[in-house]
Amino acid sequence: MACGCCNSITCKKSALWYLIAIALGVACGMSGVDSLMQIGSLCSEIFVRIFRCISMPVISLSVIIALSSYDSDRSMVSVWKKTLFYTIATTVVAASLSATLYVLISPSNVTLLSEHSADAKPIATNYLKYFLEVVPDSILNSFMEHKVLSVLLISVVLGIAIRFIKESDAKSSVVSFFRGIHSVFFTITRLIVKILPIGLFGFVAVSIKELQSGTDLAGMGKYFLVIIAANLVQGIVILPLMLAAKKINPLAAMKAMLPALSVAFFSKSSSATLPVTIDTIESKLGIDHKISRFTLPLCTTINMNGCAAFIFTTVIYVMQNHGVEITSFTILTWVLIATLAAIGNAGVPMGCFFLSASLLSSMDIPMPLMGVILPFYGVIDMIETALNVWSDSCVTMAVDKDFKELA
Q: Are 261 and 389 in contact (CB under 8 A)?
A: yes
Write down the H helix ranges in 234-367. 239-245, 250-256, 258-267, 270-285, 289-302, 305-321, 328-343, 351-362
User: In angstroms, rounded to a whole number, what is the distance separating the alpha carbons of residues 220 and 276?
Assistant: 35
For residue range 272-304, what is the model confidence (pLDDT) as tens digits?
A: 677 788 888 988 898 988 888 778 877 876 778
**Cβ(310)–Cβ(354) below 8 Å:** no
Q: In this predicted model, what pLDDT tens digit does every residue of 1-44 receive, in sequence order?
A: 334 444 456 556 666 887 888 888 888 888 878 888 889 888 88
| Maximum alpha-carbon separation in the chain | 71
Full DSSP string of 39-60: HHHHHHHHHHHHHHHHHHHHHH
| Domain 2-406 class, CATH top level | mainly alpha
Q: Residue ranges per domain, the chain?
A: 2-406
* Predicted local confidence at residue 12, as pLDDT: 64
Tell me the mean pLDDT per 10 residues along the chain, length 407: 46 72 85 85 81 73 72 63 89 94 88 46 47 74 73 83 87 89 78 78 76 61 92 95 94 91 76 79 87 80 85 92 86 88 65 79 76 78 89 93 81
CA distance 201 to 40: 7
CA distance 368 to 349: 21
Do 32 and 21 contact (CB within 8 A), yes or no?
Answer: no
The DSSP string of 163-230 is HT---HHHHHHHHHHHHHHHHHHHHHHHHHHHTHHHHHHHHHHHHHHHHHTT---TTHHHHHHHHHHH
Residue pair 385/265 in contact (Cβ under 8 Å)? The answer is yes
pLDDT at position 123 is 42
How far CA 260 is from CA of 49, 229, 253, 297, 331, in Å, comes to: 37, 22, 12, 14, 34
CA dist., res. 169 & res. 234, Å (int): 42
Residue 120, SS3 per DSSP: coil
pTM, rounded to two decimals = 0.69
CA pair distance 64, 134, nearest whole angstrom: 18
Separation of CA 126 from chain center: 29
DSSP-derived letter for residue 124 is: P
CA-closest candidate to residue 40, choices 199, 214, 215, 212 = 199
